[in-house]
Amino acid sequence: MSFWKRMFGGKGGDDAPSGEPADPVAAFWQWWAAHRAEILGDLHNSRAGWIQPLTARVHGIHADLDWEFGPGRRAKHLLALSANGDPRLRPTLERWRLAGPQDDPDFEFYTARQASPGERDGAMEWNGIEVPYADFRFAVEARDHQQRWDIVVHHPKLAALGEAAPNLVFVVLDDLLGEDGVETWMGGIDWTSEPPPDDALDVSALRSLVDGAEERWPELTWIVAQAAHPDTGARIVFSGCAAAKFLKEPLFDTLCMARLPFAADEEGMPLGEEKARVDGFEDALLAELGDRVRVWCRGTGNAERVMWIYLMAENGPDRAALDRLAGEHPGHVELMYSWDPGWRALPL
């Protein structure tokens, strides 16, 4: 864990004072503009007077948020707010980022903890046990259709850490890859003190692997899969994106499930012109809303088409357009809306 994380990360602080904008994001950036020069000039002082007020503005956005400073990539410094893995807070954090400066010469702003820069050749102390970075090894297996790696973390000290081992593993992965690197590219995560396989990666190789993820998977993966309906046992054919990643588009936080019943054959699949009719709803939807929606999956079978459509909650006109298109479409269309940041309702 970096010096700045220990010094500045964390929670606690006073309530934000009155007299600021009612919108806590606007209140944060108003306060930041007034105190930016003070922070820049006194950033390494752990007793600085701006620390508690900054914490109060962050907690004004949401009480579960943390913050930390660190070295930037383009600018000298970065400020990262963290939702600690809670996808429900990521749309709010994205709006916070977009509302702030986009070209500050001294600060960069992030919505998750960033990977620590430089080589990790030292050790950390965890529950009184010294854990050298050099002894970490990572066995990885690619899930190409989901564009993720399953990973097993090997270190000889993990057994001695007992119940503290899982926390250490996730802290180390966040430190090496950043919060979003772990969430976006890691699938199953396990750990062991057993010796690693011969092809296991060291710290540097793991970072290089994840840094090359976009090059390895330059396009999203779309697949066709089948499953049985949980109530009737009918065959359902799914087609959609198996690699949709909400952290790349966190403002698409609202799910609209569209159900279109159709006249079906004995296997529950559309008869005659019915397929063209239900396909026509998606065609009309994309023609009008285009990039303002994401149709990540559709399931056909059991005498209906079901679509998983994501849109931005803040764009009320898009929801109104969906409702209108459903009313104009020949045949019945049922729309059910729910809040689903993290896209956890997707079946693929």
Q: Do residues 243 and 145 touch, judged by C-beta distance below 8 A? A: yes
User: From edge to edge, which strands make up the β-sheet containing 66-71?
Assistant: 66-71, 77-82, 107-110
| Separation of alpha carbons 110 and 114, rounded Å | 8
pLDDT tens for each residue of the chain, 348 residues long? 333 333 334 444 444 455 677 899 999 999 999 999 999 999 987 778 999 999 999 999 999 999 999 999 999 999 999 999 999 999 999 999 999 999 999 999 999 999 998 888 889 999 999 999 999 999 999 999 999 999 999 999 999 999 999 999 999 999 999 999 999 999 999 999 999 999 999 999 999 999 999 999 999 999 999 999 999 999 999 999 999 999 999 999 999 999 999 999 999 999 999 999 999 999 999 999 999 999 999 999 999 999 999 999 877 899 999 999 999 999 999 999 999 999 999 999
Alpha helices in the chain (DSSP H): 3-8, 24-41, 51-61, 90-99, 158-161, 165-177, 179-185, 203-211, 213-216, 274-289, 316-328
Backbone Cα Rg of the chain: 24
- In the structure encoding, which two tokens stand for residue 213, read together? 């993820």
Q: Which sign does the torsion angle of CA 122, 125, 128, 131 carry?
A: negative
CATH of 222-339, one of 1.10.150, 3.40.50, 3.30.70, 3.30.1360: 3.30.70
What stretch(es) of the chain map to CATH 3.30.70?
Answer: 222-339
User: Is the Cβ–Cβ distance between 58 and 81 less than 8 Å?
Assistant: yes
Give CA separation, 257 vs 55, 114, 117, 323, 336, in Å. 38, 34, 42, 12, 5
Assess contact for 304 and 312: CB atoms under 8 A.
Answer: no
The helix/strand/coil state of 348 is: coil
Q: Which amino acid is at 58?
A: V
φ, ψ for residue 299, nearest 5 deg? -125, 135
- Residue closest to 247 by CA, chosen among 320, 151, 181, 174: 181
**Burial of 278 (C-beta count, 10 Å sphere; 0-12/13-18/19+):** buried
- Give the span between the Cα atoms of 16 and 31, in whole angstroms: 10
Q: How far apart are CA 345 and CA 319, in angstroms?
A: 19
User: Count H helices, E strands: the chain?
Assistant: 11, 14
The phi and psi torsions of 94 (rounded to 5 degrees) equal -65, -40
